[in-house]
Amino acid sequence: MYSIIGKYSALLAMTVVTTFFLASCEKEELGTTTSGTTGVLTWNITGDGTLIISGTGEMPDYNLYNDYSDVAPWREHQDSFSSVLIEDGVSSIGNNAFATCYNLTSATIPNSVISIGNNAFLDCFGLTSITIPNSVTSIGYSAFANCISLTSVTIPNSVTSIENTVFARCSGLTSVNIPNSVISIGGGAFSNCSGLTELIIPNSVTTIGSNAFQDCSGLTSVTIGNSITSIDWRVFSGCSGLTALTIPNSVISIGWGAFYGCSSLTELIIPNSVTTIGSNAFQDCSGLTSVTFGSSVTSIEWCAFYGCSGLSAITIPQSVISIGAGVFSHCSSLQSINVDANNPAYISEDGILFNKSKNTLISYPAGKTGIYTIPASVEIIMYSAFGGCSGLTEVITGNSVTYIGSEAFQDCSGLTHVTIGNSVTNIESTAFRGCSSLNTVNFNSVNISSLGRLRDGRASSVFAVNSVLTTFIIGSEITIIPNLAFFGLSSLTEIINHSTTPQAIGYNAFDCVNITNCTLRVPSVSVSVYQAAEGWKDFGNIVAIEH
């Protein structure tokens, strides 16, 4: 009995000792540090989840991708730390040093650090705050890009340049202080910072790179310093919340798409210093109701105010000598485009914009309605000249027009009837795209070879797959049916051909037309001729034109 109890007690004692030993080992394992060297510096991860980097000198640059040997040595342990403490003596933060450390929430940077490398904190999704000391003179591109939890940042007055995409897509960023030391802001520097609400660009800044504040949709107010001479392309595009904008007198040019899609902007004053307004500069600023041009503007480039649906009237000053195509296209409320009487290059008639000699129709206000006969002097209808004229019901081009530009009548959704005169030699593809009510075309051009384009094996048509066009009238003097003439017109039920002699037919002319169900009407003396003619005889119903 005693021996059994003795053996049991001994076994129990061994179990207790083993359990204590294992627990001690586990506790020791949990409390151990992961450490090493990197260049002249040392690093270790403490048990409480802090990465400490110490020493004197520069931190090396690292590779961003794990399949390379020169990644940051703590990369494989990134799940083990949530804070970074860089001790005094470290003079730089290397490229990609903490990139993709998703769990990182805070970082302490000492006054000894002079530079922060490219992508240094890229994709640190959990980083909520960062203090950049005054010792830092350079911050590399994308250094804090995609730090979506970062709410505020103060850039020290030792920094002179904010590099490309430094804070791009920091969607949680609500405020940023740009000091007077900064001379340049790089491309995409704050793009997609949708939480920013106010921006003051100091007078020290002389250049702002393209896309610098693109898609900062929460931005409501912008103050641009008076040293800026050019607002580069797409700098503020997509800033849909922007309601207040003052362009300083230092600005000479407004670049391509600079304010594209700033849909909350209601008033625009272009100062006298500005000479050029770039293409698409204010496109889709749908809330814009008032535009005042300064006296020095000489060029308004194509589609500059395309889609500004709130504009009802606009006045072109005397100074403007160059206006691009589609400038006021799809401005659905626009009733009149006025031109200063002393302008040497342009003229307005009934609110419609022409060149001075009136042989080119540049823009027809999209808010106008009804029937329009193009003046006899007009030879050229420019790209998107009638774009978005949804109230236009009928257009008669007359016999002077020789050229109709691409998308000239795009999205004229109320247009039901078009007459094309006999002098037209070129109609660009997609000229009538989106004319969803167009049911009749009266075609009289005798010198046109194609009504579409075949490129890379794909066809595009002047009428761009119109699904409601039912009647196509061909004039008596037409000798050739152009290439792709009826391409995509699957709804066509009737072709009225006034020529007594069957025309030669261009390639793919009747593609998508159900010719067995489409009625071909021709002069009564020619019915039998068409019934025997190549390309025409396949029509299921060939009958005489009714008079």
Q: Rounded to whole angstroms, how far apart are CA atoms 311 and 398?
A: 30
Distance of CA 133 to the CA centre of its chain: 36
What's the pLDDT at 154? 87
Q: Rounded to whole angstroms, how far apart are CA atoms 320 and 341?
A: 12
What's the pLDDT at 458? 57
What's the pLDDT at 7? 39
Task: Report which secondary-structure segment, H or E, holds 115.
Answer: strand 115-116
In CATH, the architecture of 34-150 is Alpha-Beta Horseshoe (3.80)
In CATH, the architecture of 369-547 is Alpha-Beta Horseshoe (3.80)
What's the pLDDT at 466? 60
Q: Rounded to whole angstroms, how far apart are CA atoms 300 and 307?
A: 15
End-to-end CA distance of the chain: 130
What's the pLDDT at 455? 53
Q: Rounded to whole angstroms, how far apart are CA atoms 73 and 68?
A: 11
| Encoded amino acid at 77, one letter | H
Domain with CATH 3.80.10.10 in the chain: 369-547
Q: Please check whether residue 423 is in contact with residue 403, taking contact to mean a CB–CB distance below 8 angstroms.
A: no
What are 91's two structure tokens? 């003079």
- Written as one string, the DSSP assignment of 395-413 is EE--SS--EE-TTTTTT-T
CA nearest to 54, candidates 103, 88, 12: 88
What's the pLDDT at 509? 85
Per-residue pLDDT in tens (0 to 9) along the chain, 547 residues: 334 334 333 333 333 333 333 333 333 344 445 999 999 999 999 999 999 999 999 999 999 887 667 899 999 899 999 999 999 999 999 999 999 999 999 999 999 999 999 999 999 999 998 889 999 999 999 999 999 999 988 899 999 999 999 999 999 999 899 999 999 999 999 999 999 999 999 999 999 999 999 999 999 999 999 999 999 999 999 999 999 899 999 999 999 999 999 999 999 999 999 999 999 999 999 999 999 999 999 999 999 999 999 999 999 999 999 999 999 999 999 999 999 999 999 999 999 999 999 999 999 999 999 999 999 999 999 999 999 999 999 999 989 999 999 999 999 999 999 999 989 988 887 889 889 899 999 988 877 766 766 555 555 678 766 668 899 999 988 888 888 888 878 889 999 999 999 999 988 888 889 999 999 999 999 999 999 999 999 999 999 998 7
Q: Rounded to whole angstroms, how far apart are CA atoms 423 and 403?
A: 9
List, in sequence order, every residue forming a beta bridge with 440; answer none if it has no partner: 417, 471
What's the pLDDT at 22? 37
